[in-house]
Amino acid sequence: MRGATTSAVLAALVAFSGAPDRRTTEGVGYAYPEDPSHGTHEEVALVGLHGDGLRLDGRYVRVRSTRIEPGAPLAAVGSTPDFRHAPGPEGPERCTLSLEFCDRFDAVNVYWHVDRVARRFWRDRMGIDPDFQADAAVHLAGNGALADPARHLLQFRLGDTYTRNAAREDDIIYHEYAHLVAAQLGFVVDTTSTIPARAVSEGFADYFAATFTDDPGIGEYWKACTPRYECVGPRDDPDVRTLATDPVTWNWRDGQPQQELKYGVCTRFVETDGKCKTIWLNTAAVYVWGMIWGSTLWDVRTELGADVADRLAADAVRRLRPARATLETAAGAVLAADLDRYGGAYRAALERAFAARGILPDRAGSVGVDVGPDPVPVEIHPDPASGFVRVRAEGVRRAEAVDVLGRARALVFEAEGAFLTLDVSSLPVGRWWIRLSGEGGIPVAPARPVVVVR
Ligand SMILES: [Zn+2]
């Protein structure tokens, strides 16, 4: 009897504490299919809204306005999940000055685009289901947008002189969201990371946005340039960044890219002081080097198609460790991804693409060695993350990891097509050598050093 009472009390407590409501509701709203420069807003379905769907709070994202109600996802106006708010005229100062000009539309637009890229691109196309709910905010003052993977945070600012409202630009939303997904894949880059690591991170984010929109330009609407009248200057760029760049100029040059690389130029007449002003929106190394890496991936997509390029890019993100990320290791990670996923089928095309952009891939241990009268090409691909070393070489019958004294430690291998796979997961951290021998135990190549890290 006593037991039954306790159960009843517990059941009542559970009901009170509010077991999470797993129902989802489909709402309705307005969004720009692309951005305001590509036509008017349309009615869209808002899928995955939690519970009754009375707030912009769903499976992949919740969106709040920092001006309308900073602490909670945007609420539906009525008692149904109806978020059809037409966008008002643009002008960042309007919402900053008066709440009545802050468009609920902006939050709805961000919800629809984040949900769309999460489902259609990451989950359905790439097989990567984002395991987090992004926490997005609109109507912040200032320029640009921001992703903070540690808090799954996205921020979209209202813009000012040279940029418009980032919440209305599809590729900016996709770019920022790609940073959060990259973090889920283990590639966590923040402001303390090295400049090359941040550049690689920006290049990947631009690439994933561009491949989803099938358009190499980033921020075509977002970039604002007021009239120049009689002012003389270079022709305005149509976007803030692009991945369709000239490989001669936008070239890594083995770590020595042109100093003066810049993009996103705008010349305008400044009425307040009657002067002409020319500025470039992208001059920082993080972004211009990022454009080199993003353009390289775009070249790969042009050559091999989006299906192959998108998968190689995502696999490379998984393989990269932020602390070691450079354009060279990123290129090496793409080659390793090709080896893993496609058996190296695209190696020649990838090497051509990297060479055209002046990037020498760091294959982290892969090597071609000529031995004896018959050259034996050997490649070794340590992958400390998974605890395996993969060896590809003609005529190799046995591969073993040996210590500094030549004592074999890891002998277990399995043939997998042209590959031998060595399990090094039980080896202590430190320096080891991979010894390769052919028929009769005769060495076919000098032992290759590998470093086991964890
Ligand atoms: Zn970014």
Q: Where are the alpha helices (DSSP H) in 117-162?
A: none
End-of-domain residue from the set 184, 219, 247:
184
Decide which of 301 and 142 is more confident: 301
E strand or H helix that includes residue 218: strand 217-218
CB 66 within 8 A of CB 138: yes
The mean of the pLDDT values for the chain is 84
Examine the pLDDT at 375 and tell me if it is beyond 60.
no
Per-residue pLDDT band at 428 (split at 50, 70, 90): confident
Cα angle 284, 290, 293 (rounded to 5 degrees) comes to 150
270: CB partners within 8 A, 6+ apart: 276, 277
Q: Tell me the whole-structure pTM to 2 decimals.
A: 0.77
- The lowest-confidence range among 93-102, 232-241, 418-427 is 418-427
Is residue 317 domain-resident?
Answer: no
Is residue 3 domain-resident?
Answer: no
Examine the pLDDT at 269 and tell me if it is beyond 60.
yes
Cα-to-centroid distance, 9 and ligand 1 (Å): 51
Examine the pLDDT at 182 and tell me if it is beyond 80.
yes
pLDDT at 190: 84
Examine the pLDDT at 402 and tell me if it is beyond 50.
yes
Cα-to-centroid distance, 176 and ligand 1 (Å): 6
End-of-domain residue from the set 123, 158, 184:
184
Domain count, the chain: 2
Cα-to-centroid distance, 413 and ligand 1 (Å): 41
Cα-to-centroid distance, 193 and ligand 1 (Å): 13
Cα-to-centroid distance, 415 and ligand 1 (Å): 41
Examine the pLDDT at 321 and tell me if it is beyond 70.
yes
The CA distance from 84 to 93, in Å, is 23
Question: Rounded to a whole number, what is the largest CA-CA distance in the chain?
Answer: 91
185 phi and psi angles, rounded to 5 deg: -80, 0
Is residue 220 domain-resident?
Answer: no
Examine the pLDDT at 13 and tell me if it is beyond 70.
no
The CATH number covering residue 395 comes to: 2.60.40.1220
Share of the chain above pLDDT 90, in %: 57
The CATH number covering residue 178 comes to: 3.10.170.10
Examine the pLDDT at 446 and tell me if it is beyond 90.
no
Range of the domain at 128: 24-184
pLDDT at 226: 82
End-of-domain residue from the set 138, 154, 184:
184
Cα-to-centroid distance, 167 and ligand 1 (Å): 15
- The lowest-confidence range among 150-154, 366-370, 384-388 is 366-370
According to DSSP, the β-strands at 24-31 and 82-83 are parallel
pLDDT, tens digit (0-9, with 9 covering 90-100), for 69-98: 999 999 998 999 999 999 988 766 688 888
pLDDT at 137: 98
Is residue 132 domain-resident?
Answer: yes
pLDDT at 393: 65
Is residue 328 domain-resident?
Answer: no
DSSP string, 201-268: HHHHHHHHHHHHHT--EE-TTTB-----TT---SPPPSSSEES---TTTS--GGG---TT--EEEEEE
The amino acid that residue 336 corresponds to is: A
Is residue 391 domain-resident?
Answer: yes
pLDDT at 106: 96
Is residue 256 domain-resident?
Answer: no
Sign of the Cα torsion 189, 190, 192, 196 reads positive
Is residue 440 domain-resident?
Answer: yes
